[in-house]
Amino acid sequence: MVDYVATLLNPDTKSLECKLIKVGIVGGTGYTGVELLRILAVHPGVTVSCITSRSEAGMPVADMYPNLRGHFDLAYSEPDPRALAACDLVFFATPHGVAMRMIPELMASGVRVVDLSADFRLKDLQVWSEWYGMPHESPEWVEKAVYGLPEVVRGEISKAQLVANPGCYPTAVQLGFLPLLEQGLVDPSRLIADAKSGTSGGGRQGKIGMLHGEVGESFKAYGASGHRHLPEIRQGLSAAAGVDTGVTFVPHLIPMIRGIETTLYAELKNPADFDRLQQLFEDRYRDEPFVDVMPFGSHPETRSVRGANVCRMALHRQEHSNVVIVSSVIDNLVKGAAGQAVQNMNIMFGLKETQGLEAPALLP
């Protein structure tokens, strides 16, 4: 694809001009929406033309999120199909069920879309309906959508009109398991993902279970009998393995705002392969700008990726066990949502993949 932010030769001045990508955001009041705005505020190739919210229409963005004062003078607006159709790309940061109703009209107008919701992640529509409690209204675009995990399908993303941005847990889990499954080194029927997330993963809605007084000084599993991210995880891992996989996925809620840590377990088919796993992981992700394989035996910390579009991981083994342990951490709002969405946008428009995403994590 020709670089969208291409150099346009001015015949009079012979100067080079830059065409900015015109972006719209549907659902800009939630945590992923404001994270998109935070990242795009310093992205040199983008201009944000509209941010929609039915509930907050007319409110200046900076009034809701004062960290954006001086960066955006836009106000939230009602979703206007004509304004969105005038964009080059639209991000959907909405609850499930919204994007699938609006996508067909945008697709017909030629707009490109990155959907951060779950509407286009699952290819099996019956499975999607079972987990999300409604029939899917855009089956033709489910088939055409590209599941946007850049480390796997970068070439397909570059040509896509619609990209389904992966979920937060599925990103951390898939990246940790991929090298093992791609090389067929582990039993694909016995994969375990023990995952923990901060409270921002539950969104910005007023839920009693997410109040600090309810979450603080506590720790619990949830969705242990089945979580909506399980079929997405299974779909991605099965594609990597080339066979159906058996995955046990249990998420946990921990009393912090940002971050996901997944401790992954897989059984090696041949224990002798263990000695080459560190090199395998390093080789697999050597050219990936947003995956960091740490030295063997390291313990990645969620604070080391806070605010950054990075998945950091490390390998472990206990004594002479056949079980490979992978610890994988991401910021659920960045590599698990808005940062990966911008990464996908960069790929779609031929930009440098890291553009707007180069900032290191926040410490302390």
Let me know whether 224 and 160 are in one domain: no
46 touches 37 (CB < 8 A): no
pLDDT for res 11: 38
In a domain, 357, yes or no: no
Decide if 364 is inside a domain.
no
Rounded alpha-carbon distances, angstroms, from residue 15 to 5, 18, 45, 77, 344: 15, 10, 18, 36, 29
| Residue range(s) defining the domain that contains residue 175 | 169-332
Coil, strand or helix: which one is 89? strand
Residue 173 belongs to domain with CATH number: 3.30.360.10
Burial of 323 (0-12, 13-18, 19+ CB in 10 A): middle
Beta strands in 202-267 (DSSP E): 220-221, 247-253, 260-267
Q: pLDDT tens, 45-71?
A: 999 999 999 889 999 999 999 999 999
What's the number of domains the chain is made of?
2
Average model confidence (pLDDT) for the chain?
93
34 with 143, same domain? yes
Q: Are residues 74 and 136 in the same domain?
A: yes
Model pLDDT for residues 80-109, shown as the tens digit of each residue: 999 999 999 999 999 999 999 999 999 999
Which residues are designated catalytic?
168
**This prediction's pTM:** 0.94
Q: Is the pLDDT of residue 10 over 70?
A: no
Together in a domain, 162 and 177: no
Based on the fold, state whether residues 186 and 260 are members of the same structural domain: yes
**24 and 161 in a common domain:** yes
**Same domain for 219 and 145:** no
- Which pLDDT belongs to residue 216? 87
Q: pLDDT tens for residues 118-158?
A: 999 999 999 999 999 999 999 999 999 999 999 999 999 99
* Alpha carbon distance 136, 125 (integer Å): 7
